[in-house]
Structure 1
Amino acid sequence: MSTTTQELWVARDNIDQTKLATVKLGPIKEDEVLCRIDSFGLSANNVTYAVLGQSYRYFDFFPTSDAKYANVPIWGMATVTDSNSSAVKVGERVYGYFPIAQHHVLKVKAAANGSKEGWFYVPREHLPEDRKVYNQYFRASADPFYDPRHEGEMLLFRPLFWTSFFLADYLKENKYYGAKTVIISSASSKTAFCFAFLAQASGIRTIGLTSPSSVPFVKSLGYYDSIYTYDQISSIPKDSTVLYVDVSGSKALATDVFNHIGASNIRRSVSVGMSNAQEAKGTFPGETEIFFAPTWIKKRQDELRDQLPRLQAKAWKEAMDRVDNWVKLSNGHGPASVEKLWKTMVNGRTAPDVGYVMSLWKTDAGSKL
């Protein structure tokens, strides 16, 4: 049976330009399942996927029929509505990587151990090996990080938190490159404050950079030892060695920090996101490293093996115990709502204390939220 679905595409050369596409999905083939995408988190993380869509091949996960446009990946919850796979049953709910769409077909790679452990893989041989982390889909019935009471929060924070978790792990393994202080841009963004939460627990001093309007929210989090607005950079003390963590993607801001602190006092500069796509232009100062989480995740999976899930479970529980104090959830339904929010996010105009859980379905009839 064929299915007609809607997808929200973005122009490859201008992610602020969108197109609502109607796509016909043919009958599913052997080992394929049809998923109804119930809901998904939408944040600056997805904007980063789009900005890096071509260079990091995020646009290659879900190809479109129009070479001018691309699908932006999201992390969502879906319900299996049809299955030609012995490993996945109709009615199962799964969490994983999808396009912004109403339906999507997944080809399931049969794996007996995965079936028992509550997950399955989708083979994507055209992508590099280090993208494998995006190919794992978790069954809600056996997902250790799924809690129906916090489904919305999970959709929003799970990809962001793990980026922050593995960045903190990476920097801790490298002893923060000898720095005594970490300066974090876009301090109100979810990736930034999740990282600050983890870094502060390691004992390193944290300084947050944010806009004046976000100062009250950033202070309320309690994860920054000091907070400065972007026009107060010249007031930051220069009495400590510094690690600069860029979450904004702003090269101009990074240059201001380097000029004030002094290149000799900056032990390392790491970029991990682009909370404002409009500022992600130019060149970073110094030898700024782009942190690509999947590469480090694969390394730590090989090194820590069974120990890693226990460390993740502990960190995730600590985060979810606090999540109610972090943001208010806002649910949006329908293509117009998703498209409007996307354009707002691309231009960096969303409130820091709101988290968005969206669906292309016009009502919540397709959602379990």
Structure 2
Amino acid sequence: MERPMSNTNVNTHFWVDRSDYAQTHIKTTELPQALSDGQVLLKVDRFAFTANNITYAAVGDMIGYWKFFPAEEGLGTIPVWGFADVVDSNCEGVEVGERFYGYYPMSSYLLAEPGKIGKQSFTDVMAHRLELPIIYNQYIRCSSDPSYKQEAEALQMVLRPLFTTSFLLDDFFADENFFGANTVVLTSASSKTALGMAFLLKNNREGREQDYKIVGLTSEHNKAFVEGLGCYDQVLTYDQLSQLDASQPTASVDFAGNGQLLADLHRHLGEQLKYSCLVGVSHWDQRGGMSEDVPGPQPQMFFAPSQAEKRLGDWGAEGFQQRLHTQWVGFTGFVSDWMDIEENAGQAAVESIYQKMLSGDVNPSKGYILSL
């Protein structure tokens, strides 16, 4: 049964041109006049914006990120992680006033259809989301989330989705015995996902049978910052790639998405490169495939939801969350010493931070929280 909806009838969106990410559009659409049975309306309060969100755009067609929150023809909604409050509900088990952490559009509202409603979460079962990875469709109830702290919302928005990928990467490589490598090279070493992985590789190294060296590749501008964090055994600038020991069996994790850099890394390491993992595209404007004559293994895209589903099957949901929570607590203690959170509100502020992130003109020690 439909019933009238309160509060608003207009939803404001921040959309980007899917063929030219620098072109943005503020658009409004009408919300339905009434909520259908089982629907809820969430008002998006705040969300984080990081280089990871640029990756969502860059691989949006390949992996399906544009499908979560459909926009007008030729435009797209970049998904973000944040918090929203239920402002209207026609769904038993989800009440007005509840706060949820999850995957939201860069919009003022999200109309959702909760399914699999439990004490800790619900899954949005809107028809267009049913075939998309469940990890992105779950909304966590703040009142029941053991990792939630109101005063730490900003860190959770900025880092938790990135750290979850870091956690899954660390687990994946350990599960594969590092593909026989004794050196792990991370590009874009100042990016938050790379830092999370480096932190875990270092912290978990002592308890593992496989010993390994952790090497970070970064820009000259960020080298001192990365070295100061102490996560890497060696930090090299991109211009110093030739100093990387090519005699050792090595695995690479590419967070940069720079095709030329990856090709240079393959050529330098040759047959000693045992595994080439693709994760992010922080250098989105330089992304591109490598020529087929480049030596070494074919680069493999890491899709975090696949590893998550494997471990959910191995450990169960509770076991998975407990392992993640334990590592998360250590990481938040680490980052709280150096990360500076900057909060901005309004359409102009969202546009400004978006363009900065797109151009790579951001300080790696900063985390950005936005609101429309």
- Normalised to the residue count of structure 2, the TM-score between the two structures is 0.92
Q: Per the alignment, in what secondary structure is the counterpart of residue 212 of structure 1? A: coil
Aligned-residue offset at 1:220: 1.6
Pick the aligned partner of 1:307 from 307, 319, 324: 319
Pairs within 5 Å for 1:1-369: 1=5, 2-26=8-32, 27-64=34-71, 66-111=72-117, 114=118, 116=119, 118-127=120-129, 129=131, 131-203=133-205, 204-262=212-270, 264-283=271-290, 285=294, 286-305=297-316, 306-360=318-372
Q: Per the alignment, in what secondary structure is the counterpart of residue 83 of structure 2? A: strand
Structure 2: which 5+ residue stretches go unaligned?
Answer: 206-211
4+ residue segments displaced more than 6 Å: none
Q: Tell me the residue number matched to 1:364.
A: none
Given that residues 44 and 276 in structure 1 are in contact (C-alpha distance below 8 angstroms), is that contact kept between their aligned partners in structure 2? no
Aligned-residue offset at 1:110: 5.0
Cα pair distance change 1:168/1:128, threshold 3 Å: farther
* Structure 2 counterpart of 1:210, one-letter code: T
Mapped partners of 2:88, 2:131: distance in 1 = 29
- How many equivalent residue pairs? 354
* Structure 2 counterpart of 1:293, one-letter code: A
Structure 1: which 5+ residue stretches go unaligned?
Answer: 361-369
* Structure 2 counterpart of 1:195, one-letter code: M
Mapped partners of 1:15, 1:287: distance in 2 = 28
Given that residues 112 and 125 in structure 2 are in contact (C-alpha distance below 8 angstroms), is that contact kept between their aligned partners in structure 1? no
* Structure 1 counterpart of 2:41, one-letter code: L
Q: Per the alignment, in what secondary structure is the counterpart of residue 159 of structure 1? A: helix
Q: Per the alignment, in what secondary structure is the counterpart of residue 26 of structure 2? A: strand
C-alpha offsets along residues 12-68 of structure 1, whole Å, 9 cap, x if unaligned?
A: 11222111111111122211111111100100111111111111111011112x211
Aligned alpha-carbon RMSD (Å): 1.5
Mapped partners of 2:126, 2:110: distance in 1 = 15
Aligned-residue offset at 1:238: 2.2
Aligned-residue offset at 1:348: 1.5
Deviates more, 1:1-10 or 1:147-156: 1-10
Q: Tell me the residue number matched to 1:366.
A: none
Mapped partners of 1:54, 1:211: distance in 2 = 29
- Normalised to the residue count of structure 1, the TM-score between the two structures is 0.93
Aligned-residue offset at 1:292: 0.4
Q: Per the alignment, in what secondary structure is the counterpart of residue 263 of structure 2? A: helix
Mapped partners of 2:176, 2:13: distance in 1 = 42
Mapped partners of 1:167, 1:176: distance in 2 = 11
Aligned-residue offset at 1:215: 1.1
C-alpha offsets along residues 174-206 of structure 1, whole Å, 9 cap, x if unaligned?
A: 001010010100000001110101112232211
Aligned-residue offset at 1:129: 4.9
Q: Per the alignment, in what secondary structure is the counterpart of residue 322 of structure 2? A: helix
Deviates more, 1:177-186 or 1:141-150: 141-150
Cα pair distance change 1:200/1:128, threshold 3 Å: farther
Sequence identity of aligned pairs in percent?
A: 35
Cα pair distance change 1:45/1:259, threshold 3 Å: same
Given that residues 100 and 142 in structure 2 are in contact (C-alpha distance below 8 angstroms), is that contact kept between their aligned partners in structure 1? yes
C-alpha offsets along residues 132-161 of structure 1, whole Å, 9 cap, x if unaligned?
A: 111110111111221112110000001100
Cα pair distance change 1:178/1:110, threshold 3 Å: closer
Given that residues 87 and 110 in structure 1 are in contact (C-alpha distance below 8 angstroms), is that contact kept between their aligned partners in structure 2? no
Aligned-residue offset at 1:283: 2.8
